Structure 1
């Protein structure tokens, strides 16, 4: 059977330049894992890298038509747009017979399948949660006429137009999955993405990792170190790569068992003489394990601090404390790792006192000295996505505000003064991100005096945030016109140091 997997083009509007991509990094391997599973079962599989190859929809149409797949599946990634260009492509492919059966899969359609299927009648269904076993079963039983009703992990339309969904249990043993197929354009990237585990043992209100797998509670599953090492060895032998990044949202896994597994991984990785990065919870940062991982080649780590106030961490159901945040920072720095950090400066229920505590935490822990990190943490609001506990709670309380899609919601800030600061910092930092985008993405080189410029820009951001917070704390209320004037003034000052 001929199966085509499409990574569709994705564009981010300028006003969303400083928002995180609304899909976990682990989804970068989702098509590769599907392709690996289907190829292993004897199917002819083609991946079209529409995003990485910067392809137009006309170019994609020609490739699909030339391949003429029996089944086409699109890794649908939410990118803040309405997907009309993609849906138009699907309609065109279906109408001329180039693609007879088309599905979507990924985090986005797992939660928004109802809206997506109704917006694009040409789609034949959506894969819910992990797609490998579902698509493997579908291809084995596919007769070209529709979705067999007994297949789990799918959402589809009934003859009367109603939607039906049947979930599938998560893959229990990740070692049973074939290695993901990697396309040549993926291997041009500096780091090779690896997936050492799936899920998380946490339950943060803003996260939809576990709900994606159909579980409200802990759903962490780890591959064995031996299986991971076998894949790394294969990549080194085939591609000669030495830089890796574990895309797992929770590298360590729970408790003592997770630490012991990490130590075994460190011992085995050390023999390969590679460099790698990971993502982790702060309560999993222990000196013995970090020491071993750094010795093995750990160079980068993302940790989710989220807040500098214990009440906020409880509100987010983070199951960590400020003391653990600070302890993790000290351990990582002791071993030469300056982490990237996840931080939610503005929650819907934040008060000015919360914002002040957050700012003092960031200053006290030297987290406002790197321009890219400063710009993120001084702006970042809580993103409210379908599938999360926060989305459900705000909807139940009547506070959820939806825009063009049901997938991303918003909630007005309970404190109007917090809203003022959040809106101003959003515009100021977005101006910086837009101007710096080509440099930070590596498309253009940094200016010769980059360090001095970045220090000045960093100071301006911290000063503007601090000054704005002080004025709001003193009771000053700004009109919309005054906010616009302040933002324009800050942009003008930043332009003196921003590269042209």
Structure 2
């Protein structure tokens, strides 16, 4: 049968310029893996890259009409609000009889399937969790004209309109999955995404990686040989040698994870590639990092999250500040300056918590790069449905949910923290907008840019410390005073950045 998989167009909201990705990086290969499994089952599959190819819905509609697929799958990526444009597009296709069955999939649909099925009648089913085997069964039933009820992993409406869903078991042996289908648009990215594992052995309260995979989910890794076979295929077919592992937890648990990483490093060493990874700080071991660097490791994201042990316990990180600092030392010893995940503002943060975080960042030289500083000095904890934090705050009656009930907003318990978070969010959003062209690579900065960035970075740190100190001394800023503080410093930044090519403000 004919299957079309759509990566739909989406727009990043200006007020959310640098929040976490709309969906975790691990989701970027969902469509490719679904396509790979469907092709293996004998189905004709096409992928439309609406986002990467910058297609309009009108252009996509023509593609859908030309193919006339029996099944349309849409990787539904959350955009921080109800996606009425997408819903209207799907309603139009269904009304026109262009496609008979529409299924959506991804992280957002997994947790919001009830809302989606209630609000968009054109959508027939929502694939919940790992999508490959569910799609294969759905396509098989549709091709045979069989009913599509009671498919594990598929949320659907019964004859009475009641929404039903049963979760599907995990793919335990990832080596049994075919390599993901890769489009030309994906291969134009500066780094080629590759997935070496799924899930995580951690249990952070803010994370929805494991809830996505379902009850009893765990870390699962592909064999190093299987990973290298895919890399060899990409090198041979596309000539690409820059990779990024999308795994939220590259290493996997304990000694077994370290041995696997060392074995993978030994196989990669002769490939002459470069790659990036993401990892927990407790998995940063000197011997393993040294071997990976020799094999081509060039950058890494580690989740520090806090400089205060009490906060790490609240977040259930199962790590310590000492481990955070040791990981930084090891990585720097091997020539890697890591990108870091950090939550400056939690719902229950006190000014003392924020001060401890700030001093931790300064002590560990993490506020010396403008792009990094801008991230670290504003990041607050986002509460997404499916996470333990969401469930806890809802049960406590402390969460205000968004219109689609997917994202929750919780008021800060401490008024001073709320003030600091609000002002820094505004100032950093101004900076993100002003630097959008340069940081996206669309425009080239002038020769003197590094010195300018250094001055802006110092100003940003000064803003944070000045306001934090004032709040610690008992000052209270009303809305007008907050606005004046933000505008004054935005003007200073604008003056310093006058010679830097502008963004979109």
TM-score of the pair, normalised by structure 1 = 0.99
Rounded Cα–Cα distance in structure 2 between residues aligned with 1:241 and 1:181: 15
Deviation at 1:149, TM superposition (A): 2.1
| 1:25 and 2:25 matched | yes
| 1:233 and 2:255 matched | no
Aligned residue number for residue 279 of structure 2? 280
Report the secondary structure of 1:305's partner residue. Answer: strand
Listed as ranges, the matches of 1:153-164 within 5 Å are 153-164=153-164
Deviation at 1:79, TM superposition (A): 1.2
Aligned residue number for residue 365 of structure 1? 364
Give yes or no for contact 1:200–1:219 (8 Å, CA) kept in 2: yes
Unaligned runs of 5+ in 1: none
Deviation at 1:361, TM superposition (A): 0.2
Aligned residue number for residue 483 of structure 1? 482
Deviations 1:71-124 (A, max 9, x none): 001000001132111111100100111111101000000000111111111110
Deviations 1:292-350 (A, max 9, x none): 00011000100000000000000000000000000000000000000000000000000
Deviations 1:392-442 (A, max 9, x none): 000000001112221111100010110000000000000001111121111
Deviations 1:341-378 (A, max 9, x none): 00000000000000000000000000000111100110
| 1:345 and 2:344 matched | yes
Rounded Cα–Cα distance in structure 2 between residues aligned with 1:379 and 1:332: 25
Rounded Cα–Cα distance in structure 1 between residues aligned with 2:206 and 2:179: 30
Give yes or no for contact 1:305–1:343 (8 Å, CA) kept in 2: yes
Rounded Cα–Cα distance in structure 2 between residues aligned with 1:251 and 1:41: 30
Report the secondary structure of 1:175's partner residue. Answer: helix
Q: What is the number of equivalent residue pairs in this alignment?
A: 499
Aligned residue number for residue 445 of structure 1? 444
Rounded Cα–Cα distance in structure 1 between residues aligned with 2:384 and 2:47: 28
Aligned residue number for residue 141 of structure 2? 141
Listed as ranges, the matches of 1:131-210 within 5 Å are 131-142=131-142, 148-210=148-210
Give yes or no for contact 1:73–1:102 (8 Å, CA) kept in 2: yes
Rounded Cα–Cα distance in structure 2 between residues aligned with 1:114 and 1:497: 49
| 1:40 and 2:50 matched | no
Give yes or no for contact 2:348–2:412 (8 Å, CA) kept in 1: yes
Rounded Cα–Cα distance in structure 2 between residues aligned with 1:185 and 1:204: 33
Deviation at 1:218, TM superposition (A): 5.4
Aligned residue number for residue 383 of structure 1? 382
Aligned residue number for residue 69 of structure 2? 69
Report the secondary structure of 1:495's partner residue. Answer: helix
Unaligned runs of 5+ in 2: none
Give yes or no for contact 2:301–2:341 (8 Å, CA) kept in 1: yes
Rounded Cα–Cα distance in structure 2 between residues aligned with 1:290 and 1:259: 10
Report the secondary structure of 1:290's partner residue. Answer: helix
Deviation at 1:138, TM superposition (A): 1.1
Aligned residue number for residue 265 of structure 2? 266
Deviations 1:128-180 (A, max 9, x none): 00000000011111158785223100101111111101110111100010000
Listed as ranges, the matches of 1:301-316 within 5 Å are 301-316=300-315
When structure 1 is superposed on structure 2, of 402-411 and 140-149 the one drifting more is: 140-149
Rounded Cα–Cα distance in structure 2 between residues aligned with 1:218 and 1:316: 19
CA RMSD in angstroms comes to 1.0
Give yes or no for contact 2:150–2:165 (8 Å, CA) kept in 1: no
Deviations 1:275-298 (A, max 9, x none): 000000000000000000001100
Rounded Cα–Cα distance in structure 2 between residues aligned with 1:331 and 1:128: 39
When structure 1 is superposed on structure 2, of 336-345 and 136-145 the one drifting more is: 136-145
Give yes or no for contact 1:101–1:144 (8 Å, CA) kept in 2: no
Give yes or no for contact 1:201–1:254 (8 Å, CA) kept in 2: yes
Aligned residue number for residue 416 of structure 1? 415
Give yes or no for contact 1:147–1:156 (8 Å, CA) kept in 2: no
Rounded Cα–Cα distance in structure 1 between residues aligned with 2:170 and 2:413: 38
Report the secondary structure of 2:165's partner residue. Answer: strand
Deviation at 1:448, TM superposition (A): 2.2
Give yes or no for contact 1:104–1:127 (8 Å, CA) kept in 2: yes
Deviation at 1:22, TM superposition (A): 2.7
TM-score of the pair, normalised by structure 2 = 0.98
